[in-house]
Structure 1
C-alpha cells in the first residue's frame, strides 16, 4: 500500500481486508472555481497516498440540489463510496437506518476526540457513542466580503461594520454599483439572515431562538432589528440579478458590487481570481459587529456496501481526510479552517488569520445545521425565499411567521 506512515496506525485496522485497489466514487457539490481547486487536493492525496482511485461525482448546484440525489441513491440501493454532507443532522436518519459505515475504530486510532477542535464537530458525527463521519473543515457563514475597487470608485472608505455598509450604499448606487450582491436562491438568503441574526440580535438571543427554540425571543425586539436589517439588505440587493453564489462573489471581485454576505468558501473564489486579502478585498467577521464564528462545515460519510475492498478503501479515505497534510492543502484552497488545531498554517492569508484568531479565542457557536432539523431549516428557507422576492413583504409579517416556525420546531 502507498498510504503514508502518518496514517499507518489508522490503516492497520483495515489491512486485513484491504486486498485490492478499487475505484471509489465520491459525491459532493463543489463545482465553483475555488471549490474545484480544493477538492482536487483531496483526489490527489487519495490517488497518491493509497492504492485506490478517486472517481469524482460532483453534482452541480447547491447542497439543497445535491443532497436529495445523494440520499435517494443511498436509500435506493445504489450507494456511492463516500459523500459530502454538512456537519449536523442532515444524515441523521440515514445513520439511524443503518445505512452508514461506523468509523469509530478509525477515529480512535487517530485520536479524533483529542485533535478535532472544536469537539462539537466530532459530536455532530457521533450517534449513540459511535462515529459515522469524518470532519473535514470548519466553515462559517459569518462574513461580509467587501470590494476595495467598488468603494474607491464611489469615493468612500471601505466600511468597518454593518451601519457603515448601509450608509455607504447611496454613494455606490450613484456610480451604478450594486451595494449588496445576493444570489436569487433561498439558501443564500436564509444564510445571510442567519448572519444578521447573530451579528445584530446578539449571541444570547440567537441561542435562545436556535438552541432553546424560544418563540418569544424570536418575536421580540432583538429579532425586530434583524428583520429591519433584512429589509434594508433586500433593498440594497435588488439589482443583483444573478443566481449562483459564486456569480455574486464575482460581482464583488470585479467591483460591480460593494459587498456580499457569504460564508468563508467565498475566499476560494477571490484566491482563484488572484486577489489578495487586505489589499483587494476586506472581510468582516460578524458584519464587523460581533467577533464570533458559527462552526459548521463539511464532513464525509461512507454508505455501507457488501464489498470488503470498498469498505477498506472507505476507511483509508476517512483516515486521510483528517491527516495533517490534507487538512492544510485542502483548507488553504477552500478558504475554510482546518478541524485540527495542531497543523501549520503559515501560508494563511489575512482573512483566514482573522478566523483562526476568533477560533483560538473560543468565540464560536454551533451552526444552524447542527441546531435545527432539516425540516425547520426548510421552512425558514421558504420564508426567506418569499420575503426576498416580494418587496411588499414587511419586516413585521416576516418576523411573525418566523416566530411561528420556531414555536412549532422540535
Structure 2
C-alpha cells in the first residue's frame, strides 16, 4: 500500500462530499486531548471546521479516556449531548449505539467512499453495528513502541539499546547514573498497555489474538505467558521510582533525559515534536520493543450523538466528512504522531518513527487493539489487575498470571 496523496483529492472539493450549504452554527466537540502534542493536533480539526463557517467549541476533558468517557456517557444518556465526541474505535460506545443515542453515519460514509479509502478495513468494521456505520475513525494509534532517550544512555555510558533485552541489561547502568530506567505514569491504562505490548513482543501475535480475541484461558496460562509476566516483573522494578501521574509527564522524563525509556503508544511522537526533538538524533523508537515489529490498528474515532436541532445535525455531517478528507488527515496525523486511516495520502513529511510505522503497516503486520477485541468491562478488570501488580510488589508474577487467566476465562 502506498501513502501517496492523489493530486485530484488535494485540488478538488469533489473528493469531499458534505451536506451542502448548511447554516453556520456552533458545535461542541468533547475529547481528552490535552497534552502539548495532542492540543496541536486537535487544533487542526478545529481550524478546518472553522474554515467552513461553523465554529468548533472545544470541550477538552483533562485526564485520560478513563476519566473522560464516563463524563461523556453521562451527558449523552442524561439528555445533554454534545455535537461530537471522541472514543476509541471498538466496543466502547456499543451500548450507546444500541440504545439509539448515536447518529447513523452510513449515508455520509457512502457519499465519501469510506469503504474504499479507509485502510485497514477493520477500522471501519469497528465503527459498524448491524451493517450501519456509527463513527469516523481518524487515526491508527499503535501501542507497540519503546521510546528511548539518547541523552540518558549517553550520560550512563552505554549504547542506545536496539531491543528489549538490551534495554533491561542497561537498567543498572542507568540507575548508577541517576536515571530511572523505565518511565511510567500512574494512570490505570498505562500498566496494562505495557503488558499488552510485552505480550505481542515476547509471546507473539498468535498468543495475543488468542488471549484478547478468543479469550483462550489455556494460552493465558501457558509457559510462554509466564515469560511475559516475568518481563512485566522486570518492568515493574525498572519503573519503581517513576512517580509521575500522566503519560505525557512520563514522556517528558524521556525527552529531558531523566529516564531511559518509556513503553507508550505512537502518540508520544507529538510530545517529542513539540519539544523540538529529532527522531534518530535525540531519541529512538523501537516498534514491537525491537523484537516483533507489529502495528496495532486501534486508535481514535468520533461519534455524533443524535440531536434534535437540524442546523447542528447538518454541522455534524460536515464535520464527519471533513475529518476524513485527505488534507485534514495529513495535517492532523502529522501533529498527532499517528498514522492516517486513508491509504491514499502523502506523508513525505513524516519523521523516521512514523515511517517505520508506515512500513510495518504496508507489510500487513497488524493486530487489532484490545478495545476492538474485548468489552470495556473486561478491559477494566485487566487494568485493575495490572495497576495492583505494578504497585504491590508482594504480588508475584505467578500470582498475577493466575488472576489474569481467571479474567480471560470469563471475558466477553
What TM bracket, shorter-length normalisation? over 0.9
Q: How does 1:41-190 map to 2 (within 5 A)?
A: 41-48=44-51, 50-190=52-192
1:300 corresponds in structure 2 to 302
8 Å Cα contact 1:178/1:240 also seen in 2: yes
Unaligned runs of 5+ in 1: none
8 Å Cα contact 1:7/1:320 also seen in 2: no
Q: Residues 178-213 of structure 1, C-alpha deviation per residue, up to 9 Å, x if partnerless?
A: 000000121001111110011111111111111111
8 Å Cα contact 2:248/2:268 also seen in 1: yes
Unaligned runs of 5+ in 2: 1-10
Match of 2:319 among 317, 320, 325: 317
1:346 corresponds in structure 2 to 348
1:216 corresponds in structure 2 to 218
Change (3 A) 1:129 1:162: same
8 Å Cα contact 1:191/1:262 also seen in 2: yes
Match of 2:13 among 6, 15, 40: 6
8 Å Cα contact 1:136/1:297 also seen in 2: yes
Match of 2:30 among 10, 27, 30: 27
Q: Residues 300-322 of structure 1, C-alpha deviation per residue, up to 9 Å, x if partnerless?
A: 00000101111100000000000
User: 2:412 aligned with 1:407, yes or no?
Assistant: no
1:311 is paired with a residue whose SS is helix
Aligned length: 402
Distance 1:211 1:100 in 2: 26
2:43 is paired with a residue whose SS is helix
**C-alpha deviation, 1:363, in angstroms:** 0.2
2:269 corresponds in structure 1 to 267
Q: Residues 32-59 of structure 1, C-alpha deviation per residue, up to 9 Å, x if partnerless?
A: 00000000010000001x1210000000
Distance 1:30 1:38 in 2: 9
**C-alpha deviation, 1:7, in angstroms:** 5.5
1:381 corresponds in structure 2 to 383
1:37 corresponds in structure 2 to 40
Match of 1:237 among 217, 236, 239: 239
1:278 corresponds in structure 2 to 280
1:372 corresponds in structure 2 to 374
1:10 is paired with a residue whose SS is coil
1:99 is paired with a residue whose SS is coil
Q: Residues 337-371 of structure 1, C-alpha deviation per residue, up to 9 Å, x if partnerless?
A: 00001001010000000000000000000000100
Provide the TM-score with structure 1 as the length reference.
Answer: 0.97
Distance 1:93 1:400 in 2: 30
8 Å Cα contact 1:198/1:290 also seen in 2: yes
8 Å Cα contact 1:7/1:323 also seen in 2: no
8 Å Cα contact 2:144/2:295 also seen in 1: yes
Change (3 A) 1:318 1:151: same
**C-alpha deviation, 1:6, in angstroms:** 2.0
Change (3 A) 1:81 1:259: same
